[in-house]
C-alpha cells in the first residue's frame, strides 16, 4: 500500500476513534471538570451506578432497543423477501416506497406524523377510567393511552425496519437460488425451504440488520422526543438534558460502559457468524466431494 494511502487511512481512523478514546480516558478523571485532568480515579463509575435516574434511563433504552431490533428484523425480513422474490406485482413501487420511506424521510417529519397518529388514536378510542370499554378498546388505551415505552417501541421499529428490509433485499438478490430450487424439486415445502435454507444463508444480513437497528434505536433522540411521555426518559434524553446544564464525568463513565458492552457483543456476534459460515462451507464442500465420488 502506498505511503499516502496509509497516511489517509490513519488520519481517517484518528478522526473516527480519537474522540472515543478521549472520552474513555476522561471517564477515569478525578476532577469534576470534564476537560481538565485531575488524576486517575474510578469514583465517577461509582457515582454512575448510584444514580437511579441514569440507570432507569439506560435500562429503558436497552429494553426498547432490544425489542425494536428484534421486531424490525422480523418485519424487515418479510418486507425484503417480498420485494426481492415476488417480482413486479401490482403496487410493487408503492410498497417499496412505503417500506423505505422512514429511512429517507427526516425524523422530525416521521416523529410528528406518528405523534399525530397516536393522539388521534387516543381520541378515537375514548380512553376513560370510568368507561373502560371492550377488550379492543382496553388494549388500545393501554398501548396508546399515554405516550411511553410502547409508542417509542413502535416508532423505533418503523424506522429500523426500513434498514433491515434494504439489507435483506440486497442479500436475497445476490443469493444463488439453486439450493432452494433443488430442495423444492425434492419435495420440500416452501416454508421449510425458507426457514431451513434461506434464513441460514442470509443470517449475516439478519445479524447486521439487528445490530444496526439496536444501535439506531439506542442512539435515537428525535423520534423519542416526539413519542415519549412522563416517566419514559431514555438514555439519549437524559444525556442531552444533562449536557445542556453542563457535562459531568458520569456521562463519560456511562458512555465507556456502553462502548464496552456493544464492542463485546459485536465481537461475539462476528465470531459466531464466521463460525457458522465456516461450518456451512465445510458442509457444502463435503457434499460436493461426495457427489463427485
Residue burial 73-84, b: 16+ Cβ < 10 Å; e: rest: bebbbebbbbbb
Count of residues for the chain?
293
- Angle at Cα 263 formed by Cα 259 and Cα 267, nearest 5°? 180
Whether the pLDDT of residue 116 is over 60: the answer is yes
Neighbours of 67 (CB within 10 A): 17
- Rounded Cα–Cα distance for residues 158 and 76 (Å): 9
Tell me which of 286 and 159 has the higher pLDDT: 159
Of the candidates 143, 149, 147, 151, the one whose C-alpha atom is nearest the C-alpha of residue 60 is 149
Question: For residue 244, what are the contacts with CB-CB under 8 A and spacing of at least 6?
Answer: none
Q: Give residue 284's pLDDT band: very low, low, confident or very high (50, 70, 90).
A: low
Q: pLDDT tens, 60-97?
A: 999 999 999 999 999 999 999 888 888 777 887 888 88
Whether the pLDDT of residue 275 is over 90: the answer is no
pLDDT at 73: 95
Task: Tell me how far the alpha carbon of residue 152 is from its chain's centroid.
Answer: 13
Highest mean pLDDT among 18-32, 154-168, 264-278: 154-168
Give the global pTM: 0.82
pLDDT at 157: 94
Average pLDDT, the chain: 82
pLDDT at 213: 93
Of the candidates 178, 205, 208, the one whose C-alpha atom is nearest the C-alpha of residue 287 is 178
- Rounded Cα–Cα distance for residues 265 and 273 (Å): 12
- DSSP-derived secondary structure for the chain: --HHHHHHHHHHHHHHHHHHHHHHHHTTBSSSSTTS---B--HHHHHHHT-HHHHHHHHHHHHHHHHHHHHHHHHHHHHHHHHHHS-S-TTHHHHHHHHHHHHHS-HHHHHHHHHHHHHHHHHHHT--SS---SHHHHHHHHHHSS-SHHHHHHHHHHHHHHHHHHHHHHHHHTS-THHHHHHHHTT--HHHHIIIIIHHHTHHHHHHHHHHHHHHHHH--HHHHHH--TT---HHHHHHHHHHT---HHHHHHHHHHHHHHHHHHHHHHHHHHHHHHHHHHHHHHHHHHHH-
- Over residues 133-146, mean pLDDT: 58
Whether the pLDDT of residue 290 is over 90: the answer is no
Helix crossing, 149-173 with 135-144: angle to 10°?
Answer: 90
Whether the pLDDT of residue 169 is over 70: the answer is yes
Beta bridge partners of 66: none
pLDDT at 119: 80
Amino acid at each position: 500500500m502506498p505511503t499516502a494511502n496509509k497516511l489517509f487511512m490513519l488520519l481517517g481512523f484518528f478522526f473516527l476513534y480519537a474522540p472515543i478514546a478521549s472520552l474513555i480516558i476522561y471517564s477515569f478523571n478525578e476532577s469534576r471538570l470534564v476537560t481538565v485532568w485531575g488524576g486517575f480515579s474510578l469514583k465517577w463509575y461509582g457515582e454512575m451506578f448510584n444514580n437511579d435516574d441514569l440507570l432507569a434511563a439506560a435500562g429503558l433504552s436497552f429494553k426498547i432497543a432490544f425489542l425494536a431490533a428484534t421486531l424490525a428484523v422480523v418485519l424487515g425480513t418479510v418486507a425484503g423477501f417480498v420485494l426481492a422474490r415476488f417480482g413486479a406485482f401490482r403496487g410493487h413501487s408503492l410498497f417499496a416506497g412505503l417500506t423505505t420511506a422512514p429511512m429517507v424521510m427526516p425524523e422530525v417529519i416521521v416523529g410528528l406524523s406518528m405523534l399525530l397518529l397516536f393522539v388521534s388514536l387516543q381520541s378515537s378510542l375514548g380512553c376513560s377510567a370510568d368507561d373502560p370499554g371492550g377488550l379492543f378498546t382496553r388494549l388500545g388505551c393501554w398501548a396508546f393511552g399515554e405516550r411511553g415505552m410502547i409508542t417509542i417501541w413502535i416508532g423505533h421499529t418503523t424506522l429500523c425496519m426500513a434498514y433491515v428490509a434494504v439489507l435483506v433485499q440486497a442479500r436475497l438478490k445476490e443469493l444463488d437460488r439453486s439450493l432452494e430450487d433443488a430442495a423444492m424439486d425434492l419435495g420440500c415445502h416452501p416454508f421449510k425451504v425458507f426457514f431451513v435454507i434461506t434464513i441460514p444463508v442470509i443470517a449475516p444480513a439478519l445479524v447486521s440488520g439487528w445490530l444496526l437497528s439496536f444501535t439506531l434505536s439506542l442512539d435515537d433522540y428525535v423520534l423519542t422526543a416526539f413519542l415519549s411521555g412522563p416517566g419514559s426518559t431514555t438514555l439519549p434524553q437524559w444525556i442531552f438534558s444533562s449536557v445542556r446544564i453542563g457535562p459531568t464525568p458520569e456521562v463519560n463513565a456511562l458512555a465507556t460502559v456502553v462502548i464496552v458492552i456493544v464492542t463485546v457483543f459485536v465481537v461475539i456476534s462476528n465470531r459466531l457468524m464466521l463460525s457458522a459460515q465456516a461450518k456451512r462451507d465445510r458442509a457444502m464442500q463435503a457434499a460436493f466431494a461426495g457427489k463427485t465420488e
